Amino acid sequence: MATMTERWAVTYHALAKAELLALQHDHPRAFEALFQTMTALAQEPNPMQPQQPCLDVTALRYDAPGWFRIKILGHSQWRVIFRLLQGNGGRPQEISLECFLDADADQHAIQITRVDHRSTVYQKLRPRQDKVYGLL
């Protein structure tokens, strides 16, 4: 049984894979910082509201409701868009601000859904969310 103090798994959605590979190739230092940022976020009991002040997480209310944004540590021009998943066996369910973090759930994951520069990360975010949900 998982507790909220255990580490969250960090995964990525298939739609974010190309963005992660491009960041790794074109901006290796930012990619390394992304890894450190997400590792630090995974250690938090509640990634929606991290206790570490250096982790700048914001809930997205208009561009992709239910998802979150974090700035990459030391590379504030880069953004990671992610969602939180939890579940008991079966398919994990998305957690939003209005949802309850279930300490008894056996799966907790931070899923990266988009990585990009701050000037373009929010463009076409709603269609990305629809694709993730299988609506397109």
pTM here?
A: 0.89
pLDDT above 70 for 136: no
Report the candidate in 53, 27, 18, 44 with the shortest Cα–Cα distance to residue 101: 44
Ordered by start, the domain boundaries in the chain are: 9-132
pLDDT at 53 over 90: yes
Question: Could you give the count of Cα atoms lying within 13 Å of 15 in the half-sphere of its Cβ?
Answer: 18
Look at residue 27 and tell me whether its pLDDT is greater than 90. Answer: yes
Both tokens assigned to 7? 């580490």
Q: What's the whole-number mean pLDDT along residues 109-127?
A: 92
96 vs 20: which has the higher pLDDT: 20
Q: Strands 9-12 and 57-60: what pairing?
A: unpaired
Average pLDDT, the chain: 88
- Residue pair 60/48 in contact (Cβ under 8 Å)? The answer is no
Which pLDDT belongs to residue 6? 56
Question: What average pLDDT does this structure show over 100-127?
Answer: 87
CATH number of 9-132: 3.30.2310.20
